[in-house]
Amino acid sequence: MKKTALYPGCSLEGTANAYLASFQKAMSAMGIEIDELADWNCCGATSAHAVDHALYLSLAARNLELAEKQGYEEVLAPCAACYHRLASANAEFVKKDDLLGKVNSESELNYGGSVKVRNVLDLLANVIGSNRISQQVKNPLTGLNAVCYYGCLNTRIPHFKSFDDVAYPMSMDRIVSSLGANALDWGYKTDCCGASLFVTAESTTYRLVSKIIKDAEARGADCIVVACPMCHNNLDTKQADICREYEIKRTIPVLFITQLMGLAFGIDKSELRLADHFVDADKVGPAA
Amino acid sequence: MIQENTNTDKKLKGSVLVVGAGIAGMQAALDTADAGYKVYLLEQLPSIGGNMARLDKTFPTNDCAMCMISPKLVETGRHLNIEIISYAELLSMEGEPGNFQIKIQKKARYVDEETCNGCGDCERECPVALRDSFNGELSTRPAIYRMYPQAIPNVFTVEKRAFLPPCRGTCPAGVNAQGYIGLISKGMFLEALDLVRERMPFAGACGRICHHPCEAKCNRADIDAAVSVRHLKRFVADYERDLMVKGESIERAPSEKPKPEKNSFEEKIAVIGGGPAGMTCANDLVLKGYPVTVFDSSDKLGGMMRWGIPAYRLPRDFLDHEIDIITKQGIDVELNKTMGKDFTVDSLKKDGYKAVFVATGAQLERRIPLEGSETDGVLYGIPFLREVNEGKEPDVGKRVVVIGGGNVATDVARSAVRLVGDGSVDLFCLESRDEMPAHDWEIKESEEENVVINNSWGPKRVVTKDGKLHGIEFVRCKSVFDGDGKFNPAFDDSDTKLVEADSVILAVGQACDLSFLEDTLELGRGVIKVDRLTLETSAEGVFAGGDNVLGPASLVQATEQGHRGAESIHRYLRGMDLTEDREPVERPKELADIPAHADTKPVARKPVKMSCPTSRTESFEEIETGYTEEEAVAEASRCLNCGACCECFECVRVCKAHAVNHDMKPEEINLDVGAVILTNGYDPFDATLKSEYSFGRAENVVTSIQFERILSASGPYKGHLQRPSDGKTPRKIAWIQCVGSRDAAIGNDYCSSVCCMYATKEAIIAKEHEKAVEPTIFYTDMRAFGKGFEGFYNRGRDVTGIRYVRSQVSSLKENPENGNIIARYVGPEGIVEEEFDIVVLSIGLVSHHATKGLASITGIDCNRFGFAESQPFENVISSKPGIFLSGAMAGPKDIPDTVMESSAAAARCGEFLAPVRGTEVLAKEHPAEKDIAGKEPRIGVFICHCGTNIASVVDVEEVAAYARTLGCVVHAQNTLYTCSQDTQEMIKDLIREKDLNRVIVASCTPRTHEPLFKETMQEAGLNPYMFEMVNIREQCSWVHQGQSSEATAKAKSLIRGGVGKSQLLEPLMLSRVDVTHSALVIGGGIVGLTASLSLARQGYKVFLLERTGELGGNLRHLYKSLEGHDWQAYLKDAIHDAEAHPDIEIILNTELEEISGFVGNFRTVLSGSGREIEHGVVIVATGAEEWQPDKYMFGEDERVITQRQLEEKLEGDFSAKKVVMMQCAGSRCEEREYCSRVCCGEAVKNALDIKEKDPSAEVTVLYRDLRTYSFRELYYRKARELGVRFVHFPDDRYPEITVRDGALNCEVYDDMIGETLTFTPDLMVLSAAMVPIREDNARLGDLLKVPLDKDGFFMEAHVKLQPVDFANAGVFLCGLAHSPKYTEENISQALAAAGRAARILSRDSLQVGGAVASVIEEKCASCLTCIRECAYNAPFINANGKAEIEAAKCQGCGNCAAACPAKAIQLSTFTDSQEAALFKNILNDDSNVEMEVVEGAVG
């Protein structure tokens, strides 16, 4: 494995702390160590990239330069928004001549463009691989029906060849299968969850989330597995309200992929921070 | 630019290779062969027909595709000069144009093409089910298959895969698991058992105790769970035994496999050891015919199966039963005879044994040094099990400790459980749970039976108290293996424990006792040393195998050794090479993966039932229960058939023609040909690449090709419109256009040309199937550009009620509640989510997967999409001389364009190989016909079994006996396959021997077989019209299955009718008419010039008629093509070539005045001079013209011009800054329903030209549907990229063009944004319609007696398959006179007309007569009915004022005969009296009555 730095971003230190905790547990269970990038800064998601493109490129370039300086070949960004920003900037640097030079000189940076950006799914499916994951399984999640929700950002980066199929990715499904669970086929893998509209247009988010939950419910999912803090937030926090409003029969626990791995690896639920979630995830496990 | 043949030396070959046998290849082959060249037609699939054979109907006429293609298949299949090489691939091509050396590899079909009659008996027996790719994988087919019922060659093919299925490949004994599982799935249990026994004589034992490595590798495990292979094997063994116990028959269907005579060899063989290895060896040798004696030191046979395996796993009576079956085959058994004691190798040799197989097993326990192990109560596993298995019940007390972690240990522990009653059994082993060598299921079952498993403990010492066993002390084992993975246990001495026990059983391994061998055989590491391949020992004639060679091994491994030993002994005794072609002991590494066509839907594995753990430990009764028949069939049906063919050889058994040969090898074919025509076609786009459409996941999302199959009567649902998920009839059906086309994101940025029309067709047909269907088509531009397409589209919208929605669907999702599909798209009011029952993806055409390889072999160029690149202006000429192209190989196109190109390629080939025309073709010669005038009818009747097709329903023997009783029948007999080559010879002999003058064959359909039998008649010197065919298959056995006696009676009636008619048959004579080898071409534009030049270059005289004083026609006004090539230079060359060619006579300022005659012999009077010319064919190439608009300010303001005028302007000074173009000016309207096809491309061409001249110029194109089909789409895209604006307006809201304040004003409603836009262009360009020259066409149509369509263009014989022929033979059509087209398409069509014409001109004479109609003048009332009815203009009023039928034109269809009110017309071989005799005799069901012979029967 190439030398990789962890870029947690703001959400993994805040709302998605369970993602970070479970990620670290799952990795160390497999004997993989990933250090945090020292002195990282904001990735430029939400507002920066929308209001000032140059600022966002500088923010990304600084993070990537840090990685380069600290001797890393790759940066792992578990948050889909961070991943999207860092990978997009990187792709822009490659695509547009002189852009990197311009950003470097304006921001007094010296990023060489050598760092590869990955997200957790890419790392798990393409670097670590199902074999190594399945070898670590202590409690196979036999009989557990999971739907994998990739969200909109993980596979859709402009000018950047996606690590998986854009519209119907399978990497998370394969990881879930290697944990012994059934990854169900469903059509909402990459549909929009409403993202930050949750704050500004709640009803839109409710409608979008309701479709996702409704279909997952109809397919008999026991849980929804995600790899993005924002997706998790939208699907989990107000799910009970949404189910009531849209007459969905039951709520469905939403877990980070790393939490599901932790369960299969036999890591204690409290360490995986399952209790952090709004929809009760305590019963997720092998079918009785 | 045109390829002239420069290869002038004598090496030129008069044969042509056509690669790809879809409609393009068949047409090219037929036209080339008919023009006098030998054709080799290469097809990579088992049968010809290509994609067209999969279609249900074709647009725009909705003709049945199969009905159209089937006659082509038959014609191609039986053409004397077309050799079909199917299931074959091009390997290499060397040489030079005119003389290529071709290498072809013909794949092994495993069915002999010459012998197979296509009867289908094999198909019914095959147990394999693979998804049928011909049916879009919506149904399954067997591994031995025919692509479709009408396939040519009409023979079967066995599909095998490169590697063995994992189950069979992994089995050490090589048991054909897929084979027997397949047979079980068909309920053929005994046949399955026989197949098991070929490699595993102990089927029942193996079915119980095998550790089944096959299941570990089963591909099914990747989907849900492995197939229960072991248990299925057990089932068949149990099945047979149950029958035997009940005393029922276990007779098998007779097998074709040769059985050796018993005792065919006399060399005696000794087998030492009656375990699985020895018994397998003995079994094999006895079956080979050797006398064999088995020696065993015990009192019973079975070896470790008996003494090592506890009875609860393998009941003794079953083992005895299987041993009994083996020994009863004639094996001598010497029990209680121990080697080294009672006999030796030497003594055996002295006793006359010529070979010895030593299989004495591993019968010793392994011991470990352990303090106190000599104490009473310390036992060893192997002797303990032996004692138990001998039926003794050793006293082990109440507390038993078993030491060991392997399978012997668990057997010991579980046996002990059955002895201790309510006592305890503890198992201790060094290994952790994961490391235990015992199988998981053994551990699990042990625990169920209350064995307590204690992991990671090693025995330290046996503890005694008072000299008696007290217990055993264990020490904690930290690890079993060291860093290198070697067995090297490490202990933690501080952690020990004492376990009290009444007995301790050590089960830590097994070893071989080889002490008896003394020094006779060389040893190595505790086993006998052998050659692993042959099992030869150090002693001559002595072989060894099994545990004493391998160390303790499994039943399957032992069996493998037995087979291997037997084979070696046989070879040794027969003096054969011991090593040749032997497979090594290691099984192959490469195994078949899940076949692409497997059905991978999860189906739960049928559980293996076990008796309850508490009750079962009370005895040694068997604990596992077998499957029921239903369970076995269901479980066997889960098999994925990874090897495709399972090699059960049932097909071999049932094939009465002995055509199946599983040993067939691929063969190489070498050919020398003069030219190559590539017609490789296309592949349908792989819809899984558009993952947003859920194809492959949502069952009710289907591709258009699947939907064709759904609609097809021969499709998976027999033509019933239903959806795949639940069989429900769909109501709402949606089509999504441009799936895989016009899509730069996936690299297919061209248009596939055909999808708009086929979607419309499918919608119309679906609606015809079910009135309730509501079709919706989502599209981008409706591209209805071909002849008759616009009308078809209008009909779809207005009559069928198709809802056309101009929007691209962004995603399809399955509704999990009902399987419906939710389509998401942008409608006028925003985003819509609409639910449909089925969604059809209109998938595009992509380059054929084999094209790339073909291109590299032949050296031609391909474009970036992988389609073959053609020369500028010349669609059928590749980048390499001598290699021609046709059809979708060179880009997506529809069937008429494809057929046209094939005829064009044939013409180009004919030009290229003109000097060697006719040099390699064969002509059939027949013996002189016997004169049968005045002779009594002597009829021979042949009644076909058609394998079992007829014979299984109709009692054919009885029918033959009956036929013999009928009048005039002098011979009647049954034939297995009447169509087979040997039967044809027999019929010929019988004709001579019995002086037959009429033959009747009662078999299948005349459609495919009548020509064959007629040919046989001619070969025997009989007139072919003395043959009569009776269909007792399609019309009898197939439709009356299960009604044997009625079907037999009906067959008799049908034959009786045939015999009645046969008596009245008359010989018909064919006459020959010479052909005039010259052509008349009417029209001197580029089309007429092209046709003339092609015919002249092919060696025929041409009269080129042009009514104006100048050659060149419309092309004089075109300067360049969309692709940027120079038309004027091309035209100049063509005119020059025509003027210079000695065989072309150009006649200017002249029209056709009068024409008479018929195909091959026309006579024409020219206008003006009144000169008469004679010619064999006519080609109409009279063109069309640009419409001069009478609106849109055209003619009122000089700034409003047509595209043609714009092009002229662009050649000179051009300065306009703002140009607006308006499409469909005069096209697609009430007066002219059709699309003018070229205007969109012309507009894009001129727009690009303007932009290139002046990038700042503003160009706007106003359009309804932009129809830049095929690669023209790329220019449309380029225009958008360069800033040309395209504005869509609705069909019913044309832009308004006015002049305001001196400025041109164009207002257009843009329905995308819902606003009206206003332009003030410098130039307003009208894309004016292309219109026929109506009056001239009408006049010429009358003269030539050929029809016009409703738009005033000439009407071809058949829109789809005869695009350049008129129904009137010898008259051809091409160019704009046919319909609007691009110039390069017109050129192809001109060549096509020349190619079709050459088929006639290349012949010396034409045959006339035969089965044609004729008029009885006395009865004719001259009412003209026949003239009106005939589609071929055959009848005319003769000098007597009566109707007469021109035999040369008559096609024998019978329309006139049926219509004639005076009954004055008779059709030969279908005369009234003949038909009356037929029906009278069918209806006369008293078989004893003398045959009614109608008066007038000739003798």
pLDDT of residue B259: 61
Q: Do A187 and B811 touch (CB under 8 A)?
A: yes
- Per-residue pLDDT band for A288 (boundaries 50, 70, 90) equals low
B7: pLDDT strictly greater than 60: no
Q: Which residues of B342-366 are buried (b: 16+ CB within 10 A; e: fewer)?
A: ebebeebbeeebbbbbbbbbbbbbb
pLDDT of residue B6: 52
Torsion over CA of B979, B983, B989 and B990, rounded to 10 degrees?
A: -80
> Which residue from A minimizes the CA distance to B434?
A138
Which amino acid appears at position B1302 of this protein?
G
pLDDT of residue B262: 65
> Which residue from B minimizes the CA distance to A189?
B692
The C-alpha of A44 sits at a distance from chain B's nearest C-alpha, in angstroms, of 28
Contacts of A185 in chain B (CB under 8 A): 697
Contacts of B817 in chain A (CB under 8 A): 218
The C-alpha of B697 sits at a distance from chain A's nearest C-alpha, in angstroms, of 7
State mean pLDDT over B905-910: 97
Residue B263 touches chain A, beta carbons under 8 Å? no
Per-residue pLDDT tens for B473-487?
A: 999 999 998 888 888
| Residue corresponding to tokens 């505790």 | B526
* SS3 category, B941: strand
CA distance B153 to B657: 16
CA distances from B942 to B537, B595, B885, B1030, B1482 (A): 63, 44, 46, 10, 18
- Torsion B309-B315-B317-B319 (CA) sign: negative
Residue B694 touches chain A, beta carbons under 8 Å? yes
Q: Which pairing describes strands B399-403 and B503-506: parallel, antiparallel, or unpaired? A: parallel
Least confident window among A66-75, A131-140, B193-202, B1457-1466: A131-140
Q: Say which of B690, B698, B816 has its CB closest to residue A215.
A: B816
B412: pLDDT strictly greater than 80: yes
Per-residue pLDDT tens for B487-533?
A: 889 999 999 999 999 999 999 888 888 888 777 788 888 899 999 99
Question: What is the interface size between A and B, counted as CB pairs within 8 Å?
Answer: 25
Which two structure tokens, joined as six digits, stand for B87? 């299931």
The number of residues making up chain A comes to 288
Q: Say which of B690, B694, B817 has its CB closest to residue A187.
A: B694
pLDDT of residue B1493: 44
> Which residue from B minimizes the CA distance to A168?
B691
Q: Which of B600, B601, B691 to mutate to test the interface with A (most CBs of A within 10 A)?
A: B691
pLDDT of residue B707: 98
Per-residue pLDDT tens for B11-32?
A: 899 999 999 999 999 999 999 9
Residue B739 touches chain A, beta carbons under 8 Å? no
Helices B1203-1211 & B1239-1253, crossing angle to 10 degrees? Answer: 30
CA distance B103 to B87: 14
- Torsion B700-B701-B705-B711 (CA) sign: positive
- Closest to B1247 measured CA to CA, from B1223, B1265, B1213: B1223
**Beta partners for B1373?**
B1180
Q: Do A187 and B817 touch (CB under 8 A)?
A: no
| Residue corresponding to tokens 């308006």 | B1222
B1497: pLDDT strictly greater than 50: no
Q: Do A188 and B813 touch (CB under 8 A)?
A: yes
B263: pLDDT strictly greater than 90: no
CA distance B550 to B1327: 86
List, in sequence order, every beta strand (DSSP E) within B773-859: 774-779, 803-806, 811-814, 821-827, 830-836, 838-843, 845-847
Residue B698 touches chain A, beta carbons under 8 Å? yes
- Per-residue pLDDT band for B416 (boundaries 50, 70, 90) equals very high
Contacts of A213 in chain B (CB under 8 A): none
- Mark residue B110 as left, alpha or beta (left: phi above 0; alpha: psi -120 to 50; beta: remaining): left
The C-alpha of A276 sits at a distance from chain B's nearest C-alpha, in angstroms, of 31
B1196: pLDDT strictly greater than 80: yes
Give chain B's mean pLDDT.
92
Least confident window among A17-31, B228-242, B578-592, B1020-1034: B578-592
pLDDT of residue B1495: 43
* SS3 category, B64: strand
- Closest to B93 measured CA to CA, from B920, B856, B879: B856
Which two structure tokens, joined as six digits, stand for B652? 């071999």
> Which residue from A minimizes the CA distance to B224?
A182
Terminal alpha carbon distance of chain B: 64
Residue B1172 touches chain A, beta carbons under 8 Å? no
B883: pLDDT strictly greater than 80: yes
The C-alpha of B692 sits at a distance from chain A's nearest C-alpha, in angstroms, of 5
Q: Do A219 and B697 touch (CB under 8 A)?
A: no
CA distance B160 to B168: 14
> Which residue from A minimizes the CA distance to B222?
A177
Annotate B261-307 with DSSP letters as a single string. Answer: PTT----EEEEE--SHHHHHHHHHHHHHT--EEEE-SSSSS-THHHH
Annotate B496-542 with DSSP letters as a single string. Answer: EEEEE-SEEEE---EE---GGGTTSS-EETTEE---TTT-B-SSTTE
Residue B816 touches chain A, beta carbons under 8 Å? yes
Q: Do A168 and B698 touch (CB under 8 A)?
A: no
- Per-residue pLDDT band for B3 (boundaries 50, 70, 90) equals very low
> Which residue from B minimizes the CA distance to A167?
B692
Q: Are A46 and A11 in contact (CB under 8 A)?
A: no
The C-alpha of B1280 sits at a distance from chain A's nearest C-alpha, in angstroms, of 21
State mean pLDDT over B901-915: 97
> Which residue from A minimizes the CA distance to B689?
A165
Q: Say which of B692, B814, B816 has its CB closest to residue A167.
A: B692
Q: Enumerate chain A positions whose Cβ falls within 8 A of a Cβ in B.
A: 165-168, 185-188, 215, 218-219
CA distance B45 to B57: 22
Report which secondary-structure segment, H or E, holds B1055: helix B1044-1062
Contacts of B814 in chain A (CB under 8 A): 187
CA distance B530 to B546: 11
Mean pLDDT: which of B296-305, B1086-1095, B1438-1447 is highest? B1086-1095
> Which residue from A minimizes the CA distance to B823?
A187
Per-residue pLDDT tens for B928-949?
A: 888 888 889 999 999 999 888 8
Q: Say which of B690, B814, B817 has its CB closest to residue A187.
A: B814
Which amino acid appears at position B312 of this protein?
Y
pLDDT of residue B10: 56
Annotate B547-577 with DSSP letters as a single string. Answer: HHHHSS--HHHHHHHHHHHHHHHHHHHHT--
Least confident window among A44-48, B701-705, B958-962, B1117-1121: A44-48
Which two structure tokens, joined as six digits, stand for A269? 């639920």
> Which residue from A minimizes the CA distance to B699?
A185
* SS3 category, B77: helix
Half-sphere exposure of residue B698, counting CA atoms within 13 Å on the CB side?
34
Spell out the residues 6+ positions from residue B989 whose beta carbon is closer than 8 angstroms to its own: none
Q: Is the peptide bond before B724 cis (omega within 30 degrees of 0)?
A: no
Per-residue pLDDT tens for B828-856?
A: 889 999 999 999 999 999 999 999 999 99
> Which residue from A minimizes the CA distance to B822?
A187
Q: Do A215 and B691 touch (CB under 8 A)?
A: no
Q: Say which of A165, A166, A219 has its CB closest to residue B816.
A: A219
| Residue corresponding to tokens 């009447």 | B978
Q: Do A218 and B816 touch (CB under 8 A)?
A: yes
> Which residue from B minimizes the CA distance to A161?
B745
Q: Which of B811, B833, B839 to mutate to test the interface with A (most CBs of A within 10 A)?
A: B811
CA distance A187 to B1116: 57
Q: Are A210 and A241 in contact (CB under 8 A)?
A: no
State mean pLDDT over B303-327: 93
CA distance B429 to B85: 66
pLDDT of residue B820: 97
Per-residue pLDDT tens for B1121-1145?
A: 999 999 999 999 999 999 999 999 9
- Closest to B101 measured CA to CA, from B858, B1214, B1024: B858
- Closest to B127 measured CA to CA, from B592, B598, B639, B630: B639
- Per-residue pLDDT band for B980 (boundaries 50, 70, 90) equals confident
The C-alpha of A168 sits at a distance from chain B's nearest C-alpha, in angstroms, of 6
Between B916 and B513, where is the model more confident?
B916
CA distance B1412 to B1456: 11
pLDDT of residue B64: 85
Q: Which of A174, A185, A212 to mutate to test the interface with B (most CBs of B within 10 A)?
A: A185
ipTM computed for the complex: 0.91
With pLDDT > 90 as the criterion, what percentage of chain B qualifies? 79
Contacts of A188 in chain B (CB under 8 A): 813
The C-alpha of B684 sits at a distance from chain A's nearest C-alpha, in angstroms, of 21
**Distance from chain centroid for Cα A61:** 21
Q: Which of A135, A160, A168 to mutate to test the interface with B (most CBs of B within 10 A)?
A: A168
Q: Do B813 and A187 touch (CB under 8 A)?
A: yes
Q: Do A167 and B817 touch (CB under 8 A)?
A: no
State mean pLDDT over B974-988: 87
